[in-house]
Amino acid sequence: MSKLRLGVNIDHVGTLRQARYATMPDSKNAEPDPIAIAGICERAGAHGITVHLRADRRHMQDRDIERLRENVITKLNLEMGNTPEIVDFALRIVPDEVCLVPEKREEITTEGGLDLIAHRKEIMPTVKRLQAAGIRVSMFIDPARGQVEAAYRVGAEIVELHTGKLANAFTEKVERQELDRLRDAAVRASKFDLQVNAGHGINYGNIALIHRIPHLVELNIGHAIVARSLFVGFEGAVSEMLARMENYPG
Ligand code: PXP
């Protein structure tokens, strides 16, 4: 039995603040403060804090990440697209980990994994630069053998398998197919000695399905925890998720 770790994605704390204060970033009333929430998550047992710095800055702002870097005591994982501006930012901040994700301005959330086969040439130098700065690098990919192999070839240490299709499966057939793909990708990644993470769309119900994917080390969960926190607070929401992650067979 291995202990599954939880990275809490707090982007939507920023979403709530921006809904009111996007045009008044320096207001003394700007709330809620993501840094305070990160501390509550850590005290409740989260193993890391995850944030996505998007090109359009729709939730997290540069200053948020700078303050998180100073205050997070567990581990800071920065999700980001591979653009020169954001890569320079990451090299200045030096988060513990970077998870490279595809990013389209118009999408509500990250919709698919990185296509490492198509973008290998652009990704590889970024991986090298980040690693030279001491940052561990993860690739957010669809659960496909070719993508796992490509992640290994670009030199990543970690893959985060996209669980969105499993989470949103409308039929049992699609659910079974997606679970098979995830299991297969996890086995493959572990053979390459890659750390296997998973994320996207995981909630308090479908976490039971996630237990059926082998070799997982860490889950990154955002929306469901933020939504649950409205009812039970962040401490409760994180504790409840951690309780559901116990007894992961590994
Ligand atoms: N992992 C990655 C790479 C993501 O882009 C996201 C969404 O920002 C998450 C995990 C968290 O997904 P959710 O909010 O659906 O839990």
> In this structure, what CATH number is given to the domain that contains residue 41?
3.20.20.70
Asked if residue 148 has its Cβ within 6 Å of ligand 1, the reply is no
Q: What local confidence, expressed as pLDDT, does residue 110 receive? A: 62
CA 99 to ligand 1: nearest atom: 3
Beta carbons of 117 and 146 less than 8 angstroms apart: yes
Domain, as residue range, for 235: 5-245
From the candidates 12, 47, 52, 162, which is the catalytic residue?
A: 52
pTM, full prediction: 0.96
Q: Write out residues in the chain with pLDDT < 70, as ranges.
A: 1-2, 105-110
H runs (alpha helix) in the chain: 11-21, 34-43, 62-71, 84-93, 116-132, 145-153, 164-167, 172-191, 207-210, 223-245
CA 200 to ligand 1: nearest atom: 12
Measured in angstroms, how far is the CA atom of residue 128 from the centroid of ligand 1?
24
Catalytic, 149? Answer no
Q: Is residue 133 part of a domain?
A: yes
Q: Is residue 158 part of a domain?
A: yes
Q: What local confidence, expressed as pLDDT, does residue 230 receive? A: 98
Q: Is residue 201 part of a domain?
A: yes
Per the structure, how many domains does the chain have?
A: 1
Q: Which amino acid is at 223?
A: H
Q: What local confidence, expressed as pLDDT, does residue 103 receive? A: 81
In this structure, what DSSP letter does residue 200 have?
S
Q: Nearest CA to 245 among 34, 39, 47, 50?
A: 47
How many residues are listed for the chain in this entry?
250
Q: Is residue 213 part of a domain?
A: yes
Asked if residue 52 has its Cβ within 6 Å of ligand 1, the reply is yes
3-class state of residue 216 by DSSP: strand
Measured in angstroms, how far is the CA atom of residue 163 from the centroid of ligand 1?
9
Q: Which amino acid is at 116?
A: L
Q: Nearest CA to 55 among 110, 124, 137?
A: 110
Q: Is residue 250 part of a domain?
A: no
From the candidates 200, 215, 218, 240, which is the catalytic residue?
A: 200
Which amino acid residue places its CA nearest to atom 12 of ligand 1? 200
Q: Is residue 71 part of a domain?
A: yes
Q: What local confidence, expressed as pLDDT, does residue 105 receive? A: 57
Catalytic, 52? Answer yes
Asked if residue 216 has its Cβ within 6 Å of ligand 1, the reply is no
Q: What would you report as the CA-atom Rg of the chain, rounded to the nearest whole angstrom?
A: 17
Asked if residue 150 has its Cβ within 6 Å of ligand 1, the reply is no
Q: What local confidence, expressed as pLDDT, does residue 2 receive? A: 60
Buried b or exposed e, range 146-179, using 16+ CB within 10 angstroms: ebbbbbbebebbbbbbbbbbbbebeeeeebeebb
Q: What local confidence, expressed as pLDDT, does residue 25 receive? A: 85
